[in-house]
Structure 1
Amino acid sequence: MITAEDICERIANKLGSKASAVTLDADTTFESVGLSSLQIADIVYGIEDDFDIRFDESQAAAVKTVGDLVKLAEQAAADDSAA
């Protein structure tokens, strides 16, 4: 299962050298670290591919924090396993 740490690592990879200037945890908003919508989409699609889950597009678009994305991933995994 995906964790906040997994997502924070993905964000740090996107931020590159800028990652050391920000605190990344479950409460981190994507906006606060300066990720573009394209970078956020890349993280979301990467999670879908790596964990073989599919997000509801409208719910994925509403994600604002690392914790929100973890919850969405847990819900998607549960939905996929129930199907």
Structure 2
Amino acid sequence: MITAEEVCARIAKKLGGKADAHVLNADTAFDSVGLSSLQIADIVYSIEDDLDIEFDPSKAASVKTVGDLVRLAEETKSGSAA
């Protein structure tokens, strides 16, 4: 399973040196940290690959925060988001 901390670590990696300017936690909104839509998609796809799951595209598009993404991963992994 993926945790908020793991997602935050992926965001920090994408942000590089800019990560120190942000507080990253489950409530962090992706658009608040300056990630491009391509960087966000890359994070989402890497989580799908790591967990061997496939998000429902409409649900993935509605993800706004780190916590939303973690919840979607948990739901998808458990099969309740199918």
Query: 2:48 aligns to what?
Result: 48
Letter in structure 2 aligned against 1:46: S
- After TM superposition, the structure 1 = structure 2 runs for residues 1-83 of structure 1, keeping only pairs within 5 Å, are 1-79=1-79
Letter in structure 2 aligned against 1:15: L
SS of alignment partner, residue 11 of structure 1: helix
Task: Output the CA distance in 2 between the equivalents of 1:3 and 1:73.
Answer: 9
State the Cα RMSD in Å: 1.3
Gapped runs of 5+ residues in structure 1?
Answer: none
Number of residues of Structure 1 aligned to a counterpart in Structure 2: 81
Structure 1 segments (4+ residues) deviating >3 Å:
none
Q: What's the CA shift for 1:33? A: 0.2
Q: What's the CA shift for 1:52? A: 0.6
**TM-score, normalised relative to structure 1:** 0.94
Per-residue displacement from partner, 1:34-55 (whole Å, max 9, x unpaired)?
1111000000000000111110
Gapped runs of 5+ residues in structure 2?
Answer: none
Question: Percent identity of the aligned residues?
Answer: 70
SS of alignment partner, residue 31 of structure 1: helix
Per-residue displacement from partner, 1:1-53 (whole Å, max 9, x unpaired)?
10000100000000000001100000000000011110000000000001111
